[in-house]
Every structure is written in C-alpha cells, then in structure tokens.
C-alpha cells in the first residue's frame, strides 16, 4: 500500500493519503511519480467545483515523462466525495483556453457537494487516492486558512513505509 502526503506551510496542512492502486492504477502511479519527485505546485481553492483544493498541472510544470501521457478513465466520477483525491486529464487542444500540451488537474476534496462542472461543461476525474479518515478534520480546518489566503504552495511527497 503506497501513501503520499500533502503539505502546505502557511496553513500547517499535513495530510496523508492512500493511493488507490487497484481502482486507478495509471492515475495513482502518476501521482506517486509526482510525490517521488517531492514536487511543489501552486494550488488554489476551487471556484467551480465546491469544497476542493485545486492544483492545476499544465504540461509546462511537469516532467516530460508525465506531461506526454494521457490518463484513461479509471474509477472516474463527476461527483467527488469528501476525502477523494482526483486527477483530471484533458488532451492537448481539446478545450479552448488551456495552455499548450496535455493538461492535468489534481483535486483534493475536503467536504461533500463536490461537482466537476467547469465553465466548458461537465468532466470526469479519476479518484486515485483517499485522504486517511483520521486526517480529514485537519484537511477541513487547514482549508479555511488556504481559502482565506488564496493561492498556496502545495508539496506532494511520498510516505516511506520501509517495505
């Protein structure tokens, strides 16, 4: 069982997630590779999708090995639940207004009522990880600070289990 951690310094966020390797193997592997690189990305509280920390990942901020791939639908939903970590993948040129190249968006949902209705229509995203139940209250609490402050820097790191 692989786990990753999301951290954000200003709010004090530090939550653990279990990758859903059996349900979303390609998407969870994508997320594991981001974590293994100890990546830090700009994230914002979502405006369209409800209780979500959204981390846009245009091709320009990703290693070429990741930006060149397209993720198939696996364990996909348009209605993420509290604690769901989702990965959306949009092929280059398929949506007007996105940066060049394939476009990915990592979403961490911290409450109920999530919906993936974007200005250009409904999308589905792959549920590829879940925030550990015991970390959900911390996620909800820290999201209040992140929402108030706006943009933040989200670190994605692997949790070494020693196995």
pLDDT at 141 over 80: yes
Residue 135 forms part of a structural domain: yes
Distance between CA atoms of residues 90 and 49, nearest Å: 16
Q: What pLDDT, on a 0 to 100 scale, did the predictor assign at position 43?
A: 95
Distance between CA atoms of residues 2 and 29, nearest Å: 10
Q: What pLDDT, on a 0 to 100 scale, did the predictor assign at position 162?
A: 57
* CATH code assigned at 26: 2.40.100.20
Residue 112 forms part of a structural domain: yes
Residue 163 forms part of a structural domain: no
Residue 57 forms part of a structural domain: yes
- What's the mean per-residue pLDDT of the chain? 92
pLDDT at 28 over 90: yes
Q: What pLDDT, on a 0 to 100 scale, did the predictor assign at position 100?
A: 73
Confidence of residue 41 (pLDDT cuts 50, 70, 90): very high
Residue 141 forms part of a structural domain: yes
Residue 86's closest CA among 97, 99, 73, 70? 73
Residue 160 forms part of a structural domain: no
Residue 63 forms part of a structural domain: yes
Q: Which of 13-22, 41-50, 52-61 has the highest mean pLDDT?
A: 13-22
Structural domains in the chain (count):
1
Residue 157 forms part of a structural domain: no
Range of the domain at 102: 3-146
Confidence of residue 130 (pLDDT cuts 50, 70, 90): very high
Measured in whole angstroms, the distance separating CA 69 from the mean position of its chain's CA atoms is: 17
6-15 residue pLDDT tens: 999 999 999 9
53-111 residue pLDDT tens: 999 998 889 988 888 889 999 999 999 999 999 999 988 878 777 777 888 999 999 99
């Amino acid at each position: 069982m692989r786990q990753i951690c999301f951290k954000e310094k200003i709010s004090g966020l530090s939550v653990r997630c279990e990758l859903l390797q059996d349900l979303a193997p390609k998407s969870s592997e994508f997320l594991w590779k981001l974590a293994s690189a100890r990546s830090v990305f700009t994230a914002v509280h979502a405006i369209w999708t409800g209780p979500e920390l959204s981390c846009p990942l245009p091709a320009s901020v990703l290693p070429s090995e990741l930006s060149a791939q397209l993720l198939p639908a696996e364990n996909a939903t348009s209605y993420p639940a509290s604690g769901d970590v989702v990965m959306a993948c949009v092929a280059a040129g398929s949506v007007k207004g996105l940066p060049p190249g394939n476009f990915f968006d990592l979403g961490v949902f911290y409450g109920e009522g999530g919906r993936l209705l974007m200005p250009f229509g409904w999308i589905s995203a792959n549920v590829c990880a879940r925030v550990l139940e015991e970390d959900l209250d911390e996620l909800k609490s820290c999201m209040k600070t992140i929402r108030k402050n706006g943009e933040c820097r989200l670190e994605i790191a692997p949790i070494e289990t020693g196995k």
